Chain A
Amino acid sequence: MTRPRIMLGALVLALPAAVSAIALHARAQRAKRDEAQPAIAAVARRLPSSDLALSGGARWLRMPSLEEPGAAFADGPALPDPDPAGGVMSPPRDAWTHETRLGPARAR
């Protein structure tokens, strides 16, 4: 097979190959995740809600599904936190320098 033919075949098959590879890999990952379902269910029964531990940031809203409607500073239900959670950049660490000085050096 000549080089242009191989190149042509690669370009024509690139999209179906990419779609198939991604779909197969995703399916395998989902099957793997399904094995953790009993552990997830056991933990979820003990937690206040099934919210993900993603942004516990400045608004102290770790469980937005339970708290958002009455949350301070929320612009609307489920809206991203304007500052600092939800932003691309976190606030500077210096902002907490004073807080650190007031508290113990280590929590432990």
Chain B
Amino acid sequence: MTDERPARPSAAPATKRSAGSGLLGYALGALGRRRSKAIALGGGLALVVALVGAVLFLTDALRADADRARAAVPDVVVQRLVGGRPALLGDGDAARIAGIDGVRTMRPRVWGYLFLPALQGNVTIVGSDPSLSDLRPALSDGRDAAPGAHEMIVGVTLARALGLVVGDELQLPPLSATPSPPLKLVGTFATDVDLYTADVILCGDDDARLVLGLPAGAITDLALTVANPAETRIVARTVLERLPGTRVIERDLLGRVYALAYGRRAGLVLAASIPALLALLILAWDRASGLGAEEKREIAVLKAVGWSTSDILWSKIFEALLVGGAATALGLVAAYVWVFPLGAPGLRPALVGFSVLYPEAPLTPMVDVTQLVALALAVVAPFVGLSIVPAWRAATLDPVEAMRG
């Protein structure tokens, strides 16, 4: 019955280590003898760890990528609301807030969405000013669009979806009576920035107005940069005084929006998984707490040959540690591979929403040792804790009664 006979546990300090490794060895042998039970328990636990870990890894990665670009966003964005809906601003509005103290730059922006029947999805049209930034590091191919030349840059995902290469011209479907001019593709964004540009068509402001069907001089919103970031709140208040009915969005709030958006989505996915997780844990508890006749006999023999209650208790705890540790390791690796190398198939649409033009860029893992250890402890500690009750029941069995069956 007991091929791997452990070293006789002893209370003597000199033999404590060998007794511990003997118990560990015995625990491994016991797991081997009840392989199917160990696999069922470990497999269930690994699945739970993989699901929870994947949701956390994916949420962290999305939030971090959104935050990565936040520093380059304007300090304040001003939008007009009419009847509770976003409306257009005009040149007059820009002029009324142009002279606010503390505002370093103000840029009228033109952007919006266009449904492309060919893709059965929306693309984002963005009017752009080449003086804002040097786009060369962000382009995989071609150059920046020249102002007034009816040129455009598109995201690599969109270019592939439309079958466009640099030099091609694209006639977008009109949104107004005035047709927009064909736009010549002069550059595509690199895959590194595809998370931000997958569905973007960047062109001149006038071209963007024509494509979006906006009247001449119309502005989607105003982007302000503030000389002293500490004065952002004061600038925002002044904007509201000069342009009542507008909505002012400060950059600092964006971080909270991202935390809310992705945190809440992760919470919803995890909440939806709770019944399945509970069912799995109840099953695991049932399997862990039940002592089979063979196991009872084995414990009885061990006690009969001189094992103490403490030895048996420790061997059972070692069993739980071995199964819990290995299953957690397997679950963590599975979660990591599922989310990062594989791109979280099945989970990504549930967390981030469905889209025709999904970015091709892989996500960047943000997980570190502290988070991994915390996650591992959060799984292994309760698992071992749950195993103490059945272990105690096993350790306090009366050997004579157990052997009689």
- Specify whether A and B are partners: yes
A: residues with CB less than 8 A from B are 4-5, 7-8, 11-12, 14-15, 17-23, 25-27, 29-30, 32-33, 36-57, 60, 62-70, 72, 77-81, 84-90, 93, 96, 99-100, 102-108
A18 to B193, CA, bound (A): 30
A7 CB to closest chain B CB (Å) equals: 6
Cβ-Cβ contact count across A and B, 8 Å cutoff: 282
State whether A79 touches B264 (Cβ < 8 A).
Answer: yes
Using known A-B contacts A8-B24, A23-B372, A108-B162, determine if residue A103 contacts B117 with beta carbons closer than 8 Å.
yes
A80 to B262, CA, bound (A): 9
Q: List 12 A-B contacts (CB under 8 A).
A: A17-B329, A23-B372, A26-B368, A33-B364, A42-B72, A46-B132, A52-B359, A54-B355, A56-B122, A57-B354, A100-B118, A108-B163
A36 CB to closest chain B CB (Å) equals: 4
- With beta carbons under 8 angstroms apart, the residue of A4, A15, A51, A52 that contacts B326 is A15
A36 to B194, CA, bound (A): 11
Which of B61-69, B235-243, B305-313, B385-393 contacts the other chain?
Answer: B61-69
Query: Smallest CB-CB separation from B190: which chain A residue?
Result: A39
Residues of A within 8 A of B121 (CB): 56-57
State whether A53 touches B200 (Cβ < 8 A).
Answer: yes
Interface centre among B132, B133, B155 (most CB of A within 10 A): B133
Which secondary structure dominates where chain B touches chain A?
Answer: mixed
A42 to B62, CA, bound (A): 19
List CB contacts (< 8 Å) of B236-272 with chain A: 247, 249, 253-254, 257-258, 260-261, 264-265, 268
Using known A-B contacts A11-B28, A11-B326, determine if residue A70 contacts B85 with beta carbons closer than 8 Å.
yes
Using known A-B contacts A52-B66, A78-B261, determine if residue A15 contacts B376 with beta carbons closer than 8 Å.
yes
B98 within 8 A of A: no
Interface centre among B62, B120, B373 (most CB of A within 10 A): B120
Task: Using A44-B70, A77-B260, A106-B118 as known contacts, list a sample of 13 further A-B pairs with CB atoms less than 8 Å apart, ordered by residue number in A.
Answer: A15-B380, A26-B366, A26-B368, A29-B365, A39-B137, A44-B69, A45-B132, A54-B62, A54-B358, A80-B264, A86-B353, A103-B173, A107-B172
Which secondary structure dominates where chain A touches chain B?
Answer: helix
A72 to B171, CA, bound (A): 29
- With beta carbons under 8 angstroms apart, the residue of B69, B116, B122, B369 that contacts A60 is B122
Residues of B within 8 A of A105 (CB): 118
B: residues with CB less than 8 A from A are 4, 24-25, 28-29, 32, 62, 65-73, 77, 79, 81, 84-86, 109, 111, 113, 115-124, 126, 128-129, 132-138, 155, 157, 162-164, 168, 170-173, 189-190, 192-200, 202, 220-221, 247, 249, 253-254, 257-258, 260-261, 264-265, 268, 322, 325-326, 328-330, 332-333, 336, 340, 346, 349-350, 352-359, 364-369, 372-373, 376, 380
State whether A70 touches B193 (Cβ < 8 A).
Answer: no
Listed from nearest, the 3 A-B pairs whose CB atoms lie closest are: A55-B353, A103-B117, A50-B69
Using known A-B contacts A22-B332, A69-B247, A108-B164, determine if residue A46 contacts B261 with beta carbons closer than 8 Å.
no
Residues of A within 8 A of B380 (CB): 15
Using known A-B contacts A33-B364, A41-B69, A107-B118, determine if residue A23 contacts B369 with beta carbons closer than 8 Å.
yes
State whether B336 touches A46 (Cβ < 8 A).
Answer: no
B328 CB to closest chain A CB (Å) equals: 6
State whether A107 touches B171 (Cβ < 8 A).
Answer: yes
- With beta carbons under 8 angstroms apart, the residue of A17, A20, A37 that contacts B68 is A37
State whether A36 touches B192 (Cβ < 8 A).
Answer: yes
A85 to B350, CA, bound (A): 9
Interface centre among A11, A47, A85, A87 (most CB of B within 10 A): A47
